Every structure is written in structure tokens, then in C-alpha cells.
């Protein structure tokens, strides 16, 4: 039986791994099935929207990863190839990354059957290398979970970067001269 604070605790993580069209961007929400994360997990599974159909990540058919992980795509499949990259290498990478986190103790083994995980996953419609998609999603998932467990990023790091924001899609002109 979990304590009230364990049920309510939610770990939120983020990680971006790789570059170009095969990069992976993962956001994770991990928490007890009896708490807000479990409620969000069930609600998301029961509330698909056009192009965004959450599904349980599996290591192979009929072998879901634990803790049960809901894969939510951030980009609706634009082509058959894009859909295959989402449901194939990205999903396999997420499942393997979750298993890596359990094996490393980032997610305690005792949480495998008591916690639920949501992974919001970006797969670029232009992605073209299944092996790189798999590797990047595996590492991004593992890293997002580690970041969530450690409460990262540190607030000092966030505040230090506030005047120079950037991402792979945009860097403000004034950030370059700051």
C-alpha cells in the first residue's frame, strides 16, 4: 500500500536527443496509478483525437513495458512512413528506454506495477532513419525519466538561460548578441 504522498507525487521529465529530422523529444509524466498521473493516463487512453491515438508501449507484441507506458504522439502521422516511424522505432525506443530506467533503478522496481507513465513523443514527419529514431528515442526516454527523478533542470540553470533561449527550430536574434 502506498502512502498519500507517494500517490500524489508526480515526476515530470524532458529530454531532446539527436539532431536533424531523426532527433527525439520526449516529455514524461510518472506517478502512482492511484494518483493524478494514473487518472491522466486513463483519461488520455480513453480520449483519442484525430491523428493522436495514445497506445500502450510494448517491447514486443503482448509484452508491455512496466510501468505501463502510454505513448502519446505529438505529431499526427502525415504519411505511411511517418506512421511506421512512430509505431515502430520510436515506440520500441520508448519501451526500451523505460526498461533501461527500471534496470538502472531510476524507476524503482517496486513501482513497476503501481505506477503509470505517459510519454509524449515527437517524431518529425521527415524522419528517415529507423535505427537513429530508435536510438534517439531510447536515450531521450531514459534521460527524461532520469531528469524527472532528479528534479532537473535546476532552477539556477533555468534562470541563467532566460536571456538566451533557443531550440533546434528557433533562436531569437537578440539572444545571439546577449
Exactly one of 25, 32, 82, 111 is catalytic; name it.
25
The DSSP line for 143-175 is HHHHHHHHTPSPHHHHHHHTTS--BTTB--HHH
Asked, as a colleague might, if the bond just before 153 is cis with ω within 30 of 0, I would say yes
Annotation marks residue 25 as catalytic: yes
Rounded Cα distance between 58 and 69, Å, is 8
- Other CB atoms closer than 10 Å to residue 49's CB: what's the count? 9
Does residue 123 contact residue 133 with C-beta atoms inside 8 Å?
A: yes
Rounded Cα distance between 104 and 112, Å, is 13
Residues with catalytic roles: 25
Amino acid at each position: 500500500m502506498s502512502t498519500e504522498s507517494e500517490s500524489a507525487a508526480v515526476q515530470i521529465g524532458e529530454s531532446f536527443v539527436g539532431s536533424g529530422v531523426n532527433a527525439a523529444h520526449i516529455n514524461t509524466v510518472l506517478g502512482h496509478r492511484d494518483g493524478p498521473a494514473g487518472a491522466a493516463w486513463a483519461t488520455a487512453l480513453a480520449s483519442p483525437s484525430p491523428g493522436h491515438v495514445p497506445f500502450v508501449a510494448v517491447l514486443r507484441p503482448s509484452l508491455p513495458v512496466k510501468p505501463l507506458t502510454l505513448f502519446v504522439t505529438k505529431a499526427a502521422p502525415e504519411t505511411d512512413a511517418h506512421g511506421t516511424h512512430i509505431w515502430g522505432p520510436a515506440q520500441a525506443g520508448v519501451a526500451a528506454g523505460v526498461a533501461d530506467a527500471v534496470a538502472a533503478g531510476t524507476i524503482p522496481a517496486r513501482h513497476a506495477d503501481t505506477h503509470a507513465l505517459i510519454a509524449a513523443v515527437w517524431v518529425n514527419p521527415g524522419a528517415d532513419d529507423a535505427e537513429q529514431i530508435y536510438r534517439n528515442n531510447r536515450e531521450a526516454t531514459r534521460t527524461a525519466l532520469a531528469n524527472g527523478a532528479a528534479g532537473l533542470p535546476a532552477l539556477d540553470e533555468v534562470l541563467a538561460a532566460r536571456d538566451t533561449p533557443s531550440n533546434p527550430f528557433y533562436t531569437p536574434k537578440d539572444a545571439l548578441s546577449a
